[in-house]
């Protein structure tokens, strides 16, 4: 076989092989999916989901950006920083383990929600009440936490009500 024929045959094989090659995707390109899966967006979280997520935190949030993920702005200063409030408001105790956590929405509306978290701590039932507001963006934030068994709430402990009219709604 002459060199010209070999080159022509080789070119033919390469042309056919190139037709059968799948489209090459570079390393930084996204691979197209048959059905895109929606990402979980923080603004889509339900009031129950927000309170549940707070309980899943290994410790209470104390850095302001972290506190802002859960709480309305009036509570952020009092809950962030080194001083904080001195106990785990989620548990109504200094510390400890809880079991049987149940989070239930007891009242709801377009701009607000009331949640009760029930659990056992040291073999005793505990209930915590959460008030939430909905921001214009659709995100939910906690505006207050109250102990059902004891006489305290976060707005009083953090001074979040200072300077506010008692009849006004807390800022979200």
pTM: 0.71
> Distance of CA 72 to CAs 43, 106, 138, 139, 143, Å?
14, 20, 13, 10, 5
pLDDT tens profile 20-37: 444 444 444 444 433 333
Residue 26 or 54, more confident: 54
Q: Which residue has the higher pLDDT, 27 or 142?
A: 142
Rounded CA separation 159/172 (Å):
16
Contacts of 63 (CB under 8 A, 6+ apart): 80
- Kindly list the distances between the CA atom of residue 79 and the CA atoms of 27, 84, 96, 170, in Å, as whole numbers in the listed order: 44, 5, 19, 16
Mean pLDDT of 67-88: 89
CB 147 within 8 A of CB 92: yes
Task: Find the range with the poorest average confidence among 35-39, 65-69, 156-160.
Answer: 35-39
Higher pLDDT, residue 13 or 55: 55
Q: What is the CATH number of domain 44-158?
A: 3.10.450
Grade residue 84 by pLDDT with cuts at 50, 70 and 90: confident
Is there a contact between 157 and 85 (Cβ–Cβ < 8 Å)? yes
pLDDT over threshold 90, residue 67: yes
Give CA separation, 59 vs 35, 48, 53, 54, 157, in Å: 37, 19, 11, 9, 19
State how far the Cα of 14 lies from the Cα of 57, in Å rounded to an integer: 59
């Amino acid at each position: 076989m002459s060199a010209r024929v070999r080159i022509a045959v080789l070119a033919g094989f390469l042309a056919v092989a190139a037709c059968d090659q799948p489209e090459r995707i570079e390393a930084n390109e996204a691979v197209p999916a048959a059905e895109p899966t929606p990402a979980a967006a923080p603004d889509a979280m339900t009031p129950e989901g927000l309170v549940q997520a707070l309980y899943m935190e290994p410790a209470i949030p104390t850095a302001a950006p972290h506190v802002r993920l859960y709480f309305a702005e009036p509570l952020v200063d009092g809950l962030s920083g080194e001083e904080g409030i001195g106990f785990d408001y989620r548990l109504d105790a200094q510390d400890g383990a809880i079991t049987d956590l149940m989070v239930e929405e007891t009242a709801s509306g377009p701009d607000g929600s009331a949640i009760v978290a029930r659990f056992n701590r040291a073999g005793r039932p505990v209930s915590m009440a959460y008030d939430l507001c909905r921001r214009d963006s659709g995100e939910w934030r906690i505006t207050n936490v109250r102990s059902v068994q004891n006489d305290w709430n976060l707005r009083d402990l953090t001074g979040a009500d200072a300077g506010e009219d008692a009849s006004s709604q807390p800022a979200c």
